[in-house]
Structure 1
Amino acid sequence: MTAPLKLARAIHFDESDQRVFHVPARTGEWCISGGFEFSNWSEGDLSGKNRQAFSNGWFGLETGGRVTFVAVTQVEPGEMASLAQMLAEHFVTYYGAPSVEAALPTAQEELDQMADLCAEHGPNTLLTVLRELSDVGVRESFRMIEPNDAGLDQFAIHGSLDE
């Protein structure tokens, strides 16, 4: 029997994402790491809300917004195809991909990476991302918080905005 396919949805515990990201992701929207947005960034790009998005923001597939926490949940295979199409359209609109067809394999790869990250975790496991610039580009690490381990003191921590 095949294991259910999993992705992660944006989750909010307070209103802080509304203040720390230029565009906050909508509660419940599907998310991926979205590190591709920062592939050409340097230290000079990392200030204020840009720094917050870079440091720990997941990418919402519907809004293109960012969120601090995502929760693992099951996704239907047919929904994955729609999400890949949506992300491919984003690549055309915002990153200059020549066509949706050309961008589709990259979009699917992004979704597959997120599905791989979520695969070993139970429903409602919380995920956070931490990014840093290195000599070879953007380095991402992930933290998993099992539902039974989650305490409220873990959810309202954000860096300064340097605004």
Structure 2
Amino acid sequence: MALKLPRTIRLDPSDTFVYARAAEPGEWAVTGTFLFFGADVENLSGKERQAFRGGFLGVESFGWSTLVVVTEATAEERAAAVERLAEQLVARCGAPGMEAARPAAEEEIAFVQSLCDHPPNTLLALHRADEEAGIRESFRTLHQKVSRLDPARAFRVIEIDEEDGPAEEVDIRALAGRQT
């Protein structure tokens, strides 16, 4: 079975104004939920709130991406992603050293790897909610609905599989007009 990991993807420029820092397309990604542990989630606003609600964290930039794409990876690429995330945990999150950061980075990479049990090029979306028991994550997959009888065309309807409840709607135009 091929090794698969999520990479950030940017289908349009919206991430660049929805988030304070957008991930670069093509970065390895983790959920980034650890950045919200202990945060006063109810008082997050604007771009921070949007990152909480639906952002994947790019390992290289520590920027956010609304979607990730399931991508085949080599063992070397996976190991490099773990190492880079560990470095980021030390530099940006206060981990006391690489010895402490590596197991945490390994755990984060293993978790997102478990989300990639889909064909390559499947898009994944994330929704976080702050609940009494803690932060709850739910994931959706977006698949292209294809029929061999359909003619080729630029746009197709996609089918969305939702694990937990309806998708949240976001008015991107309204968010773009806000300054945070």
Unaligned runs of 5+ in 1: none
Q: If you compute each CA radius of gyration, which structure gives the higher value, 1 or 2?
A: 2
> Matches of residues 126-137 of structure 1 in structure 2 within 5 Å?
126-137=123-134
Q: Which amino acid aligns with 1:105?
A: P
Question: Size of the alignment, in residue pairs?
Answer: 157
Asked whether the equivalents of residues 124 and 142 of structure 2 are also in contact (C-alpha less than 8 Å), the reply is yes
State whether structure 2 residue 19 is matched by structure 1 residue 15. no
Contact kept? 1:42, 1:133, Cα under 8 Å: no
Q: Which has the higher helix share?
A: 1
**What runs of 5+ residues in structure 2 fail to find an aligned partner?**
147-155, 161-168
CA distance in 1, matches of 2:17, 2:64: 11
In structure 2, do the counterparts of structure 1 residues 43 and 99 end up closer, same or farther at CA, with 3 Å as the change threshold? closer
Q: TM-score, normalised by structure 2?
A: 0.81
**Aligned partners of 2:46 and 2:35: how far apart in 1?**
16
CA distance in 2, matches of 1:112, 1:44: 29
* Cα distance in 2 for residues equivalent to 1:88 and 1:28: 19
Quote the offset at 1:101 in angstroms: 1.5
Q: CA deviation at 1:44?
A: 4.1
Residue of structure 1 in register with 2:31 after alignment: 33
For CA contacts below 8 A with separation 6 or more, give which structure has more relative contact order: 1
In the TM superposition, residue 137 of structure 1 has moved relative to its aligned partner by: 1.7
> Percent of aligned pairs with the same residue?
41
Q: Give distance in 2, aligned partners of 1:109 and 1:151.
A: 35
The whole-number CA distance in structure 2 between the counterparts of 1:12 and 1:158 is: 17
1:42 maps to 40
